[in-house]
Chains A and B, each alone.
Chain A
């Protein structure tokens, strides 16, 4: 399916170039096997890190992906770049199905999609100078042909991310966290990508420095016409930088809407709880506003609950359908998709909230009410991937 083919049902937009889809994700699945045994290496189960996600990222927009740890948002970002292999579904990047690519064509395609990592301490090689970090990507893609031109390019990039040109000769340890994140961003931009996946780009930074990097990401998008997928757990940050937002829970997208619509009228119970849980630095509002406290923990992605994945913690859970039928993502308002059977009823107040007893979730097995230290499954995907 080509990008031009897309007829996204967004009422307010005209079919301009900006409106075209750059990335199309269809029913993407990433399952990690849980292996046990020294010799036989049996697969005893799977971690359903990403389990059937559909989304589209348009050219030039910022798509924000939020969710709590273990919901699969980072894995989705990695699968988009083929840094992990998908189990099912497909990712179409600018009309090309990435899962059909391998070897050299895939490598060449990677020039167009780059990543900015969370931790600027560990994502830069401490023994490489900044110049060598930046030039590495250019070399790999055969763009380092002319020494003068490369030099000029590096200087331009440093200026663009707000670092002095003298930084080229320095090493990562000579910079503060915020500056290091700027280097990480410059590195992603060296090869002139179309898509930048930023996985928690500011969460390792101090509050006063976060704003510098957030503003920088916005400026660079304007300057270079970038498309962003920003993955973060901080809802205020995601709302600030994203045009559209997808909310993930246990490997699936539960709600997707424009940034304003999502925050003004969250329709999925999980989104509502998530938004109400974010502390706001305004005592008046904090005293007044309603907090929806979720009971219990996120179930393990190795044993997701049947039916709606959120039904074990949902304060609006109904007796029928919720625990048997997994709700599909459906359009409730133009451009606003929700995976909840009762979204309209909850919105219109026909269903009242009720108390939920916390279900004991075992961090090791993820199975409610099962005591077993022998069935040691992982608690989250990060644990599976390891350091």
Chain B
């Protein structure tokens, strides 16, 4: 059984005097223990909002969250604030993009790490401090005893991100959500953090949801990759299948538009035309249709349904390569 089952999750932002905006528009996916699932997409595709919705971190006002998020059979969206607070940090861990703005700047790192242990595991201060030092050591922070007493600004970006991972892992959560964990970091530090995350998943059996815009990052580590566009999943496949044969024109377009280290140089890139601003609402067709090189008449008439093709899910009327599979996925 899956650890986390997200079914038809939707997040609609409603502001006074403005049309409601569906940032997430019916997303379903599963995460099993020890599995690394990637959510990939550009800014505005709803990947971060999805993670915030799962963690219950969206503001109460002006947001409508629909669907279900079942964690071990319990719907997280229906839990009270208190129950949710018990689970966050214990069962669910989260690592954010910007390590400086997700820690408290006026509290030493050590206190912030042990706080989790004191809150969820009821440890005494001294025990918690010892465990914190172990945790920092575990995530590769040299001289943890000294670092515990330091404030976030005294740590470098990579060290801060490590400290954040240590906090997220303090209570051995069964699910870890990493939202662009390496985007703010340099490439050599990124490599360190990614290898640390993979190692932790392998050793502890934690499930990981990896949210990123970088296709290279998911190619190296995620078992299953979901490509998001305009708040919906447009393609899902195992990483080998997805990169070997992208079927959705958006996935294919993304891959064709990035310069690659492993390709011969000097070839002209094939950009995706237009920008996210050109999207049309899913209700009247495919959101990607105005930018899509494969668009046919059907794309602006009705939104494509999710179809299954072996292990792959695809939402497209006219995919790259072969014609669209006819078998539709029954609504789960």
Contact = CB atoms under 8 A, between A and B. Distances in A.
Contacts, number: 164
Contacts of B268: 215, 218
Interface string B157-185: 01100000000000000000000000000
Given A280-B260, A360-B143, A208 B271 contact: yes
Interface in B254-281: 254-262, 265-266, 268-273, 275-277
Contacts of A328: none
B240 A211 contact: no
A354 B277 CA distance: 50
A192 interface: no
A173 to B, nearest CB: 12
Interface residues of A, number: 60
B150 to A, nearest CB: 8
Given A277-B191, A291-B191, A361 B42 contact: no
A208 B261 contact: no
A298 interface: yes
Q: What interface size band does chain B fall in?
A: 35 or more
Interface string B208-250: 0000011111011000000000000000000110011000000
B3 interface: no
Contacts of A279: 190-191, 194, 214, 216-217, 219-220
Which of A69, A263, A360, A361 gathers the greatest number of chain B CB atoms within 10 Å?
A360
Contact of A208 (B217, B219, B257): B257
B188 A281 contact: no
Which of B159, B244, B272, B275 gathers the greatest number of chain A CB atoms within 10 Å?
B275
Interface in B48-72: none
A373 B151 CA distance: 9
B258 A207 contact: yes
Given A208-B257, A215-B271, A360-B142, A280 B191 contact: no
Contacts of A276: 191
Interface in A12-68: 68
A360 B150 CA distance: 13
Nearest to A358: B142
A260 B140 CA distance: 35
Contact of A178 (B142, B213, B275): B275
Nearest to B42: A206
B243 to A, nearest CB: 5
A240 interface: yes
Contacts of A207: 42, 213, 215, 254, 257-258
Contacts of B192: 293-295
Given A208-B271, A286-B219, A297-B158, A236 B259 contact: yes
Contacts of B15: none
A293 B158 CA distance: 13
Interface string A178-216: 110000000000000000000000000011111110110
Contact of B189 (A178, A218, A278, A297): A297
B216 A240 contact: no
Q: Which 3 A-B pairs have the closest CB atoms?
A: A279-B216, A240-B259, A211-B271
Given A207-B215, A282-B262, A373-B151, 13 more contacts: A68-B188, A208-B272, A211-B272, A239-B259, A263-B265, A273-B188, A277-B190, A278-B216, A285-B262, A291-B195, A293-B188, A360-B146, A363-B153
